[in-house]
Amino acid sequence: MSEPTFYYDFNSPYAYLAAHRVDDVLPVRPRWQPIAFGALIRQIAKVPWSLQPGPERERRLHDCEQRAAALGLPLSWPDGWPDRNYSILVLRAALLAAEQDRLREFSLAAFRRGLGEGGDLRDLDTVLACARDAGLDAYAVARGVEQP
């Protein structure tokens, strides 16, 4: 059997929920792979449910909140979610975490601080706190995510 891959975006509430279950529901532990979903949807010119006003968006927000509650997970929508929360910074840090074999731990920390606590994953201090939570050297992560 080939190794399954869990693709996720740090801004996705469904990915947040799945991240807390994926290792338990699959017969083998998957490879975790963060993606830039915002860039993908722009490329294919799709408007996700989270950016469409109306009852469908409200229904899905409520669905996410109910699922989180059923799993015992906090869910707090960050200010400006979803369109003002896409972050390349957190993806850069995730790549560094993967190099240290700490991607899963970093990702769970980023989900907790982002969607769990409503934190801003575009903020360097928040991302560095995620790095520390994952057992990474925050100073090394800060150097590694600096833009050229």
pLDDT digits (tens, 9 = 90+) for 75-126: 999 998 888 888 899 999 999 999 999 999 999 999 999 999 999 999 999 9
The pTM score is: 0.91
Domains contained in the chain, number: 1
Query: What DSSP element (H or E) covers 31?
Result: strand 31-34
Assigned token pair, 120: 């801003």
pLDDT at position 50 = 80
CATH of the domain at 65: 3.40.30.10
CA distance 113 to 120: 8
* Per-residue model confidence (pLDDT) at position 89: 95
Whole domain around residue 140: which residue ranges? Answer: 5-145
Span 5-14, average pLDDT? 95
Q: What is the pLDDT of residue 148?
A: 56
Q: Which residues of 2-39 are buried (b: 16+ CB within 10 A; e: fewer)?
A: eeeebebbbbbbebbbbbbebeeeeeeeeebebebbbe
